[in-house]
Copies of this chain bind each other. A is one copy, B any other.
Amino acid sequence: MMKTVRIALDAMGGDFGPEVMLPGAALALERGLNIAFLLFGDEKLIKPYLAAHPALAAVATLHHTNVAVRMDDKPSQALRSGRRNSSMWLSIDAVKKNAADIAVSAGNTGALMAMAKTCLHTMPGVDRPAIAAIWPTIRGRTIVLDVGASIGADARHLVNLAIMGAAMARAVLDVERPTVGLLNIGSEEMKGVDDVKAASKLLREMALPQLDYVGFVEGGDIGRGTVDVVVTEGFSGNIALKTAEGTASQMGQYLREALSRDLMSKIGYFFARKGLATLKAKMDPRNVNGGTFLGLDGVVIKSHGHSDVFGTSVAIEIAYRIARHELLGQIRGALAHSHELASRAPNSQTAGGERAAAVPQSAQLRMDS
């Protein structure tokens, strides 16, 4: 039998807290996933849901705390008031103490990232964490990272992102040797940021066995599903993600208007409604809910704050897949191998030199200052 995955769940996170997190956990179990839950939060609020979902109660242990990080807490505030005793912190800490394999929270992103960094620290060889998103494409799904954990990336960090993203693609997309592209403007070699060009050179030279580096991709390639993994620094990654979400909702609104503008259109909608339901399902952001924090000594999944029960169950299923594939161990191994390659490379000095002169310079996201 498949090994049980231990998921630490911040039952208080998100706009709806236990009302959504616990039924979401119960729904994930209905898919036959072999999960043991560690639930962190206010027992008074959690117990009624355990009573209502006996299958969840059977695989859950409840860890009471009445401290919860609020959705509008600034990261520094959350760390001051919620460190060591909030449901968010305790969920992450369970991963650190190896009581859980992975943590899931719908709490606010800034606070969650600050706590994850403080509690778990970055992996050896990784300067900064990243957030990976699962992006629906014409051909299936693509992993895009970093979508906003930090701003700017030097060549070495971009290579790390490629390695971590490829490991995640193996876990979530079930591809053995994922294709990886570096996001750039213009596909000609001559264009783009120095860091991105240096990272491209490094990835070609290293010829890593875990991934198939295909070169530069442009913004339009993401939705086209040209590659399994798209790598970029967090500023442009976040803008790409938000812009795509905005465009999708814009198209959705155009479509609703088009199908309600006159009687004929409404009749058309009536006939086509089943076909259009498949469209709606494809565009449903709940199907890809869950930003994955990578680069830390432990994996944390951020479920969307507005998520409903279904969206929550998806984030939990993603956590399950990631933990079951032992993503962390895979990333550790791949990173160690790449660092060995880099140190052996005859021109590793050159790469370092390019990095030093690189534009834009790296900068940690100032979460709260």
Q: How far is the CA of A247 from the CA of B220 in the complex (A)?
A: 7
Classify chain A's interface size.
35 or more
Among B137, B235, B254, contact of A236 (Cβ-Cβ < 8 Å)? B235
Among B236, B242, B254, B360, contact of A218 (Cβ-Cβ < 8 Å)? B242
Q: Is the CB of A190 within 8 A of B271?
A: no
Among B110, B137, B261, B275, contact of A265 (Cβ-Cβ < 8 Å)? B275
Q: Is the CB of A271 within 8 A of B271?
A: yes
A234 partner residues in chain B, CB cutoff 8 A: 185
With both beta carbons as reference points, the residue of chain B lying nearest to A234 in the complex is identified as: B185
The distance from the CB of A175 to the nearest CB of chain B, in whole angstroms, is 20
Taking the complex as formed, is A219 at the interface, i.e. its CB lies under 8 A from any CB of chain B? yes
Taking the complex as formed, is A214 at the interface, i.e. its CB lies under 8 A from any CB of chain B? no
Q: A219-B238, A271-B265 are in contact. Are A250 and B137 (CB under 8 A)?
A: yes
Taking the complex as formed, is A232 at the interface, i.e. its CB lies under 8 A from any CB of chain B? yes
Q: How far is the CA of A239 from the CA of B217 in the complex (A)?
A: 10
Q: How far is the CA of A248 from the CA of B243 in the complex (A)?
A: 11
The distance from the CB of A78 to the nearest CB of chain B, in whole angstroms, is 13
Q: A250-B137, A251-B251, A366-B190 are in contact. Are A243 and B265 (CB under 8 A)?
A: no
Taking the complex as formed, is A51 at the interface, i.e. its CB lies under 8 A from any CB of chain B? no
Q: Mark A203-227, 1 if CB is under 8 A from B, else 0.
A: 0000000000000001111111000
A278 partner residues in chain B, CB cutoff 8 A: 257-258, 261
Taking the complex as formed, is A305 at the interface, i.e. its CB lies under 8 A from any CB of chain B? no
Among B265, B282, B359, B369, contact of A254 (Cβ-Cβ < 8 Å)? B282
17 contacts between A and B (CB under 8 A): A185-B242, A192-B235, A218-B238, A219-B241, A223-B250, A224-B249, A236-B239, A244-B244, A244-B247, A255-B279, A258-B272, A258-B276, A261-B275, A268-B275, A268-B276, A359-B360, A359-B362
Q: Given A190-B369, A267-B271, 16 other A-B contacts at CB below 8 A?
A: A148-B185, A151-B193, A151-B359, A152-B359, A185-B238, A190-B367, A219-B245, A223-B243, A223-B247, A243-B244, A251-B283, A257-B278, A260-B275, A264-B274, A268-B272, A361-B361
